Amino acid sequence: MPSYLCLRVSKSNNMRFRRLTEEEFTAVESEFVKFLSSQGVDAPEWQKIKRENPHMVEYLLDEFSTFFWESTTSRITFLERHSEEDRWVFKFSETKAKVLRLVHKKSEKSPDIFRGEKEFPPEARGREIFLLLEQGLLPCPEDKHSELEKLFTE
Residue 1 lies in a domain: no
Residue 12 domain flag: no
Query: Do 82 and 149 belong together in one domain?
Result: yes
Q: In terms of domains, do 104 and 116 share one? A: yes
Q: Are residues 47 and 89 in the same domain?
A: no
Q: Is residue 15 part of a domain?
A: no
Domain span holding position 33: 22-74
What's the CATH number where 127 sits? 2.20.140
Same domain, 64 and 26: yes
Are 95 and 129 in a shared domain? Answer: yes
Specify the number of domains making up the chain. 2
Is there a single domain that holds both residue 96 and residue 142? Answer: yes
Q: Are residues 44 and 99 in the same domain?
A: no
Q: Are residues 106 and 140 in the same domain?
A: yes
Residues 52 and 116 in one domain: no
Residue 6 is assigned to a structural domain of this protein: no
| Final residue belonging to a domain, choices 49, 74, 99 | 74
| Secondary structure string (H, E, C) spanning the chain | CCCCCCCCCCCCCCCCCCCCCHHHHHHCHHHHHHHHHHCCCCHHHHHHHHHHCHHHHHHHHHHHHHHHHHHHHHCCCEEEEECCCEEEEEEECCCEEEEEEEECCCCCCCCEEEEEEEECCHHHHHHHHHHHHHCCCEECCHHHHHHHHHHHHC
Domain contains 17: no
**pLDDT tens series, the chain, 154 aa:** 334 444 444 454 567 899 999 999 999 999 999 999 999 999 999 999 999 999 999 999 999 999 999 999 999 999 999 998 898 999 999 999 999 898 988 888 888 889 899 999 999 999 999 999 999 999 988 777 777 777 777 6
